[in-house]
Amino acid sequence: MALHVALIEPEIAPNTGNIARLCAATNTSLHLIEPLGFSLDDPEIRRSSVHYIDDVDLWVHASWRHFREAIARERCYYFSAHGTHELWDANLPDGAALVFGNESVGMPQRILDKHPERVYRIPMTGPVRSLNLATAV
C-alpha cells in the first residue's frame, strides 16, 4: 500500500530526520509543508535520518494550499491528541496521506474544525499525556 506522511510546519530537524528515515524504510512519500523551523541542509536532519533523507520521495510545499493541490482532501487522515476516533478505526485506502501538526502547537484548529470526522488519535494509557512527533508517526 502506498502511503504519504505530511508534516505541517515541522519545527525540529531531528524529528523530521527520524520521520524521513521511517519513510525511506517503508517507501512512504514525505510531504513537508512550509514554513519549516530548519533548513533541509541542516546537519541535524542528515544525521537523524542517517542520510536516508536522500532516498525519500520528498515533497516540500510552500503552504497548506499547495499541499492540498497535490493531495486530494478525501485522501487526508489527520492525527491529533484531540481526535475523536482512535487510530485503529482508520480504514486507510491506498494512497492515504497521514497528516500531522507540528511539535509545539499540533494540528491547526482550522483543520480540526473543518474535518472532525477525519481526525484520529493514538490511544494512550497511564500518565503519558503526549507523544513526540517522531514517535507518533
Tell me the per-residue pLDDT of 40-79, one tens digit each, with 9 for 90 and over.
999 999 899 888 889 999 999 999 999 999 999 899 999 9
- pTM metric for this prediction: 0.94
Asked if residue 132 has pLDDT above 90, the reply is no
Asked if residue 6 has pLDDT above 70, the reply is yes
Whose cell is 494550499? That residue is 65
Domain ranges of the chain: 4-136
Nearest one of 49, 1, 61, 43 to 23, comparing CA atoms: 49
Asked if residue 1 has pLDDT above 80, the reply is no
**What's the pLDDT score for residue 119?**
96
What is the rounded CA–CA span in Å between residue 93 and residue 87?
14
Tell me the per-residue pLDDT of 90-101, one tens digit each, with 9 for 90 and over.
999 999 999 999
Which secondary structure element, helix H or strand E, spans residue 97, and what is its range? strand 97-100
Domain 4-136, architecture per CATH: 3-Layer(aba) Sandwich (3.40)
Asked if residue 9 has pLDDT above 70, the reply is yes
For the chain, first and last CA: distance in Å?
16
Residue 13 dihedral angles phi and psi, to the nearest 5°: -55, -45
Cell numbers that stand for 66 in this block: 499547495
| pLDDT band per the 50, 70, 90 thresholds, residue 130 | confident
